[in-house]
Amino acid sequence: MRDKSSFLGTRRAATMVSAILTLTILVLSLGACNRQNPPVRFASTSDPGVNNAPINNPAPSGAGVPAVSYADLVSRVSPAVITIHSETRVRAPQQYPFLDDPMFRKFFDQRRAPQQPERRASGLGSGVIITTDGYILTNHHVIDGAEQIKVDLNDNRTLDAKLVGSDPPSDLAVLKIDATNLPVLALGDSDKVRVGDVVLAIGNPLGIGQTVTMGIISAKGRQTRLQGSGSFEDFLQTDAPMNQGNSGGALVSTNSELIGINSQILSPSGGSIGIGFSIPSNMARTITDMLVKNGKVRRGQLGVVVVPANSEPAKELGIKDNRGVVVAEVSSGGGAERAGLRKGDVITAFNGAQVDDANAFRNQIASTAPGTEVTLTILRDGKEQQVRASLGELKPQPER
């Protein structure tokens, strides 16, 4: 009996040790996962250099796994994505500024202390050629403050670029180079992009050279507020890996169309964790057109503050319907006040298009030229009516 008991005890002990080892390995694996994941005229499809023929995926091979390649797509679109180098003068602070004052200099040695020489800071980003005669779309923050801008083309030429115009609230800028017959990317319709669509991100991350990554559209209509409260954002979110240097590069659909300009990433470490944001092509098209024509962007203003219909401020106003956006404030002297809009009105449509999101409505107003008369469909006291309003002009906020 003693031998049998001893054998059973040994067996139980071995089982317990095996269970403890298994649990320990599981905990270490989870710990490793946590460490890895810490808390003009735009190009059209008929222009030279544009080829947006759909990609025909090869037939499935192997155990039901399709052999898919994006090589043909990349060879068509990548020549239009370029690298941008910028240089900014950084003036060193004076160490002894009081020596410029004669009243102080007479008390000290007349020899002037040498001042630190000016230094130049270099920036790196990406851009997209959108016309055959050299208009390039990129981010405002790629060229912000730059005194010199050069672009590296994919035919090994390096050319000087001039700034046509820049728009900090949308983080977009347009450059121009002196060249012709350039490869271009046609701007697609970003409103037709669906969550789950496959996309490619093309740029020059960390200066290693042109790089292509693949992912899907993870979400639409995102806001980050990184540019400040005066920014206009309607980002496409993607898990296609992006890093520093991808800014201003292309987000491309499988139809070879430019659907976004890569702008930001969300990352606690500064590297890609699969959350990137791109400015949709429809917003880029509107901003680019204004920058090319006028060198600046003019935005419409209705003169209201709106909140989501399901928000607490809307509930406090007695709104029970979740449709549209709710007018929480009407500015004195603005187009909304002149049109008779009131606090508590629910806006359900803008020029016949359904309104569901407060940020999207703000972007619709801003993208409409000042002085334009618009039609708003509203609900007031449970009754639907239409109101005509003339938009004012939104004054740009000074950069911080």
**Residue 171 annotated in active site:** yes
pLDDT per residue as tens, the chain (400 positions): 444 444 434 444 444 444 433 333 323 232 323 333 333 666 554 555 665 554 444 444 444 545 479 999 999 999 999 999 999 876 555 554 545 555 555 555 555 555 556 667 889 999 999 999 999 999 999 999 999 999 999 999 999 999 999 999 999 999 999 999 999 999 999 999 999 999 999 999 999 999 999 999 999 989 887 655 557 888 999 999 999 999 999 999 999 999 999 999 888 877 888 999 999 999 999 999 999 999 999 999 999 999 888 888 777 777 777 888 999 999 999 999 999 999 999 999 999 999 988 888 988 899 898 999 999 999 998 889 999 999 999 887 655 4
**Residue 3 annotated in active site:** no
Q: Which domains, from first to last, does the chain contain? A: 190-282 (2.40.10.10), 299-394 (2.30.42.10)
Choice among 126, 247, 253, 281 that is catalytic: 247
- The full length of the chain comes to 400
Choice among 140, 167, 170, 171 that is catalytic: 171
If you compute the radius of gyration of the chain from its CA atoms, what whole number of angstroms results? 28
The closest alpha carbon to 235, from 286, 279, 188, 187, belongs to 279
**Residue 167 annotated in active site:** no
Choice among 78, 85, 140, 141 that is catalytic: 141
Amino acid identity of residue 89, one-letter, is R
Q: Measure the CA–CA gap between 170 and 234, rounded to whole angstroms.
A: 9
Residue 170 contacts residue 133 (beta carbons within 8 Å): no
Residue 130 contacts residue 187 (beta carbons within 8 Å): yes
The whole model's pTM is what?
0.74
Q: What six digits make up the tokens of 51?
A: 């080829």
